[in-house]
Amino acid sequence: MLNFKNTNIFFVSLVASLLWLNARVNMPIYIFGIVVLIYSLIVFYGCYYVGSNFFIKIICKANTTKKEIAITFDDGPAQNYTPQILEILNKENIKATFFCIGKNIMGNENILKQIDANGHLIGNHSYSHHFWFDMYSAKKMQSDLQMMDNEMEKVLDKKPKLFRPPYGVTNPNVKKAIVRGCYTLIGWSVRSMDTVATDENKLLTKIVAGIKPGAVFLFHDTCLRTANVLPKFIQEVKNRGYSIVPLDKLLLLQPYA
């Protein structure tokens, strides 16, 4: 299994062997450069591919043959377009999971309460969602996550256990913060790319192609195009005989601490 520990063991052994060999045959220096490059590419893959499980286990889908999927929304709560999405979900009697940013709760407390009152799950998506979040120390990451927990507890008296890392990036510091905070790391199996999509028809085609047993869809409740496409996507899911179920039911997890 490719992971951070095994990768380090292999490359330390490889470099030691090359150094031993170099002392005898004077190997070209570029050989060591190639080794460093390959190591860097593997670690980069581990950091930025959400399903790699390179540093820590991250749950991206359910291992099932049942025609069930879950949908999740990142980056809210927001005046635009969380209420519209909640209205669509309520009309279709569908429960979703909202991975919220702590700093977005202030001023949007009523929306957070509505998410909870409608029976949806709420997860931690960090407090700051800072561009350089993945460069934070483990201590600073843990503090950031705790700040999100505190904001949510003020409003709902609930502490989220599910955490989705900003940008889906993991690394050793993220692992330490997750373990210390006793969170369950959640990824996705279908990334809609709704924040960058420009053609709603192409967006719909892309996400419909990802409808498979156990799939976890990533959307954002901050996009008009998501609100526009969501009803059509839900209808297509139903047409294919699938059900949209709560994330905790699909993945058999506890959503709150």
What does the pLDDT look like over 130-179, one tens digit per residue?
999 999 999 999 999 999 999 999 999 999 999 999 999 999 999 999 99
Residue range 68-251 in CATH 3.20.20.370:
yes
Q: Could you tell me if residue 243 is left (phi over 0), alpha (psi between -120 and 50 degrees) or otherwise beta?
A: beta
Is it the case that residue 43 has pLDDT exceeding 90?
A: yes
pTM of the model: 0.94
Specify whether 129 is catalytic.
no
63-112 residue pLDDT tens: 999 999 999 999 999 999 999 999 999 999 999 999 999 999 999 999 99
Distance, in Å, from the CA atom of 185 to the CA atom of 165, rounded to the nearest integer, reads: 8
pLDDT tens digits, one per residue of 120-130: 999 999 999 99
> Using only C-alpha atoms, what is the Rg of the chain?
21
Among the listed residues 74, 75, 134, 144, the single catalytic one is: 74
Distance CA 125, CA 74 (A): 7
Residue 87: which H helix or E strand, with range?
helix 82-92
> Domain residue spans in the chain?
4-48, 68-251
Distance of CA 113 to CAs 15, 32, 124, 242, Å? 55, 56, 15, 29
For the segment 180-239, what is each residue's pLDDT rounded down to a tens digit? 999 999 999 999 999 999 999 999 999 999 999 999 999 999 999 999 999 999 999 999
- Residue 65 CA to its chain's centroid (Å): 22
Which of 144, 149, 220, 248 is labelled catalytic?
A: 220
pLDDT at 1: 81
**pLDDT confidence band for 24 (50 / 70 / 90):** confident
Answer yes or no: 194 catalytic: no
